[in-house]
Amino acid sequence: MSRVGVIGIGHGKFGRRSDATVQELAFEAFRLAVKDAGIAREEIDASVVAAVPEYHKQRSVAGVVQEYLNLNPAPTWLTEVACASGSAAIRTAWMAIQSGLHKVVAVIGCQKMTELSTGEILALMGRVGEVQWESVFGTTFPGYYAMFATRHMHEFGTTREQLLQVAVKNHFYGAKNKNAMFQKEISLPTALASEAVASPFCVYDCCANADGAACLILADEGRARASGKKVVWLDGVGCASASMSVLRRPNLVGLPSAVEAARQAYKAAGVTARDIKVAEVHDCFTIAEIMAYEDLGFCKKGEGGRFIEEKRSYVGGSVAVNADGGLKAKGHPIGATGVSMAHEIVSQLRGDAGERQVPGADVGLTHNVGGIGQYTFVHVFKRD
């Protein structure tokens, strides 16, 4: 197969964006990506929009975004796999280019979540689990991941302090990211003193709902090489699924879909976990990042707590993880998250991440989870 390159990236501010509609959020990121790619919008021959429709009054989000961006009559379509929708859109664009159907595709992840109340969002999120046998008992997203945390602590001795050190790290880097929702460092004592959410979680174990958008412009190898830019290649794609019911999983200390998606992506890119210099992982809750260290092969199963405690996931450690603040500090507008992750990795591999730059970053990874691990996408990017 030929290679697919990222020739343009754009990212808007994440947060409570009462100043913009979902179309305007999409335009904010799209405008920057087109400018970065140095192309005319007429050169874009398709778009893929990532969003979860239930959060918007508009039922067919892709259509209104496509119209607002003035991309008609090029084809557009929507991808939705819960919180992994953005990475699903990137994979879809990659497949469209590999098939030869399209040469230049815009991927737009956008979501406006804060028009709903926290209670409404919790109810929607809880229904991502198995509706017939689990969500009827009042399951919530924090509740599901709290089960993972409790089991991990039981089996491996992982501590609350180790969990919250993930939050401390990600807020440290989020404070340096102008697009992050929370641009303020926190201390471990502050995190430990925050209000309880779902045992063992407190407020700082949990990411925040947000509004925002991010955009990538992908192109086939010929068009990418002709761009005259520093091209970052999407060389490894992997995805896998797992049972909707968490209680049917083989264990509650990791995500089998993440392990399989990583295996596929590493094989396709011809790399191993040791080659990854910078990674964006799905830290919807602090335990999710710790499990990701293990599922992706950055450390052995059960060693994720020590991995963060020893600062091996900081810039300068074994692999820099969530150097943009992750979902924890950046916020989690679910349709935009996977595209935002890719934006950060492309910035790092180009050497454009400023004071958050990972030295020598030439291979990067994104790990984006939908639901409670029902879907996981892992992408490996390489510097030209």
Residues noted as catalytic: 83, 332
CA atoms within 13 A on the CB side of 238: 25
Report, in this order, helix, strand and coil percent for the chain, each rounded to 5: 40, 20, 35
C-alpha span between 298 and 272 (Å, rounded): 10
**What Å distances lie between residue 13 and 24, 51, 172, 331, CA to CA?**
12, 17, 18, 10
157: left (phi over 0), alpha (psi -120 to 50) or beta: left
Token duo for residue 344: 């950060």
Q: For residue 47, give the nearest of 13, 23, 72, 14 by alpha carbon.
A: 72
Laid out side by side, the sheet with 278-280 consists of 76-79, 46-50, 104-112, 211-220, 4-11, 232-241, 375-383, 363-370, 278-280, 320-321
C-alpha span between 358 and 338 (Å, rounded): 20
C-alpha span between 46 and 43 (Å, rounded): 9
C-alpha span between 364 and 360 (Å, rounded): 11
Q: Peptide bond before 73: cis, by omega within 30 degrees of 0?
A: yes
User: Helices 286-295 & 256-269, crossing angle to 10 degrees?
Assistant: 50
HEC string for 310-344: CCCCCCCCCCEECCCCHHHHHCECHHHHHHHHHHH
Token duo for residue 69: 């961006």
Please list, in sequence order, all residues whose beta carbon lies within 8 angstroms of the beta carbon of residue 178, skipping any fewer than 6 positions away: 13
